[in-house]
C-alpha cells in the first residue's frame, strides 16, 4: 500500500501508479493499493483505467485504488474491503482536520514509546519520557492524550504503549521526510562508488553522533529479513544543519550532490535526529553506530520495503 497525501493532476497519478507497479512486480504480492487522501481530478477513474490499459496483465491486475475527495470515497475495483479502508481513512482525515496540526514533538514521543514497545521495556516515567524527547511536561501530556487509546498509565506516573498505533504510524511514515529533515545525495560522477567505499569514507568523515540505518541496520536487527542488496546508505545524524551536512558530504565524495528522494542514482540519505536521546547502538570497533529500530523501520518504509518493515516489527516483538 502506498499513501499519497495529495494528487494534483495527471502527472502525480501516473508517477504514483508507476512506482506502485514496480513494487507489485518486484514483491509478487496479490494486490498493490494506491491510497489518495486528497485529489483534484474530476476524471480520476477514467485516467486510472486508461493508464492500466497500457500495463502488462501480470501487473495491472494487482493495482487497486482508494481515493478520497471531500466526502466522496472512490475505489477501483468496486470492492467491499477497499470501501471499508476508504471510509475509515475518511473518518481519520476528518478528525485530523478538526484538530490543530500535530507538532514534531508528538512524533518524537511516539518514537520513544514505539521503541520501548518493540524492545518490551518496562513502563517509563513521564518525566523520563520528557527528558528523552527534550520536551516540556505540558507537551508530553498533550501527546499522551492523543495516544490515549494505545497506552496504559499507572499510579506511579508511568506510561507504556500497549498496542501498535497503526493510524499514527501511517501518518508518521508519510511525514518522515519533514520530521527528520532528510537530505538526499546522488552520485554525479558517472562512475559511482560502491556501498563499501561510501561506508569507509563515512566512517572517516561523518560527524560525531552518527549512525547507520536503512537496509544495513535492518540486517543487523534481524539477519533473517528478506533483503537483497543495499539500495542506498541511510545515515542518521544528531541535530544536523543543512550547511554542516553539505560540508561533510563533500568530504565523503565531491561527486555527491543534493537531489530528490525519487532519483534513481540516489546514493546516500541523511536523516536528522531531533530527540534529546538518539538511542544509537555502538558497532564493535567502528565510529558509526546503528540507528534504533524505529528509525530503521521509517527508512524501510521510505524505500517501499513495507513487507520487510512488517516482518521486522513482528520479529522484534518476538514473533516468528
Could you tell me the residue ranges of all domains in the chain? Answer: 2-98, 104-171, 181-316
Task: For residues 306 and 249, give the distance between their C-alpha atoms in angstroms, rounded to a whole number.
Answer: 29
Task: For residues 267 and 195, give the distance between their C-alpha atoms in angstroms, rounded to a whole number.
Answer: 8
Q: What are phi and psi of 292, to 5 degrees?
A: -75, 165
Q: What are phi and psi of 270, to 5 degrees?
A: -115, 125
Pairing of strands 266-273, 183-187: antiparallel
Q: CATH number for 104-171: choose from 3.30.540.10, 1.10.10.10, 3.50.30.50, 3.20.20.220.
A: 1.10.10.10
Q: Are 104-171 and 181-316 equal in CATH topology?
A: no
Task: For residues 229 and 195, give the distance between their C-alpha atoms in angstroms, rounded to a whole number.
Answer: 10
Per-residue pLDDT of the chain (320 residues; tens, 9 = 90+): 777 766 767 777 888 888 888 877 777 767 888 888 777 677 888 888 888 888 888 788 888 888 887 778 888 888 888 888 888 877 776 665 555 445 689 999 999 999 999 999 999 999 999 999 998 888 898 899 889 899 999 888 899 999 999 999 999 999 999 899 899 998 888 888 889 999 999 999 888 889 999 999 999 999 999 998 888 999 999 865 555 787 888 888 888 888 876 666 689 999 999 899 999 999 988 999 999 999 999 999 999 999 999 999 999 998 76
**Angle, helices 306-316/214-221, rounded to nearest 10 degrees:** 30
What is the 8-class DSSP label of residue 250?
H
With cell 477501483, the residue in question is 76
What angle is formed at CA 211 by the lines to CA 254 and CA 188, rounded to 5 degrees? Answer: 20
Q: CATH number for 181-316: choose from 3.30.310, 3.30.460, 3.30.40, 2.60.40.
A: 3.30.460
Task: For residues 110 and 159, give the distance between their C-alpha atoms in angstroms, rounded to a whole number.
Answer: 12
DSSP string, 78-105: --HHHHHHHHHHHHHHHHHHHSPPPPHH
DSSP string, 117-133: HHTTPPPEEHHHHHHHH
Among candidates 226, 228, 234, 230, which has minimal Cα distance to 202? 234
First to last CA, the chain: 23
Buried b (16+ CB within 10 A) or exposed e, 201-216: bbeebbeeebbbbbbb
User: Which residues are bridge partners to 187 per DSSP?
Assistant: 256
Give the number of other Cβ atoms within 10 Å of residue 312's Cβ: 23
Amino acid at each position: 500500500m502506498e499513501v499519497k497525501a495529495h494528487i494534483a493532476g495527471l502527472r502525480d497519478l501516473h508517477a504514483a501508479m508507476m512506482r506502485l507497479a514496480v513494487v507489485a512486480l518486484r514483491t509478487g504480492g496479490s494486490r498493490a493499493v494506491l491510497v489518495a487522501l486528497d485529489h483534484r481530478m474530476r476524471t480520476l477513474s477514467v485516467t486510472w483505467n486508461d493508464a492500466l490499459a497500457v500495463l502488462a496483465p501480470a501487473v495491472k491486475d494487482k493495482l487497486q485504488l482508494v481515493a478520497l475527495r471531500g466526502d466522496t470515497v472512490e475505489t477501483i475495483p468496486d470492492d467491499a474491503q477497499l470501501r471499508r479502508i476508504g471510509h475509515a481513512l475518511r473518518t481519520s482525515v476528518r478528525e485530523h482536520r478538526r484538530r490543530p496540526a500535530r507538532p514534531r514533538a508528538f512524533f518524537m514521543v511516539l518514537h520513544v514509546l514505539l521503541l520501548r514497545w518493540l524492545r518490551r521495556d518496562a513502563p517509563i516515567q513521564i518525566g523520563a519520557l520528557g527528558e528523552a524527547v527534550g520536551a516540556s511536561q505540558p507537551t508530553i501530556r498533550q501527546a499522551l492524550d492523543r495516544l490515549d487509546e494505545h497506552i496504559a498509565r499507572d499510579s506511579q506516573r508511568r506510561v507504556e504503549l500497549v498496542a501498535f498505533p497503526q493510524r499514527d504510524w501511517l501518518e508518521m511514515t508519510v511525514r518522515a521526510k519533514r520530521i527528520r529533515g532528510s537530505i538526499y545525495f546522488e552520485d554525479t560522477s558517472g562512475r559511482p562508488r560502491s556501498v563499501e567505499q561510501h561506508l569507509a569514507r563515512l566512517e572517516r568523515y561523518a560527524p560525531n553522533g552518527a549512525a547507520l540505518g536503512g537496509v544495513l541496520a535492518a540486517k543487523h536487527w534481524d539477519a533473517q529479513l528478506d533483503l537483497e542488496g543495499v539500495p542506498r546508505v541511510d545515515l542518521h545524524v544528531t541535530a544536523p544543519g543543512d550547511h554542516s551536512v553539505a560540508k561533510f558530504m563533500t568530504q565523503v565524495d565531491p561527486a555527491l550532490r543534493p537531489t530528490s528522494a525519487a532519483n534513481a542514482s540516489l546514493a546516500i540519505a541523511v536523516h536528522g535526529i531531533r530527540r534529546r536521546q538518539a538511542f544509537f547502538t555502538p558497532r564493535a570497533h567502528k565510529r558509526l553506530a546503528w540507528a534504533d529500530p524505529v528509525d530503521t523501520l521509517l527508512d524501510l518504509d521510505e524505500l517501499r520495503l513495507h513487507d520487510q518493515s512488517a516482518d521486522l516489527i513482528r520479529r522484534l516483538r518476538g514473533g516468528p
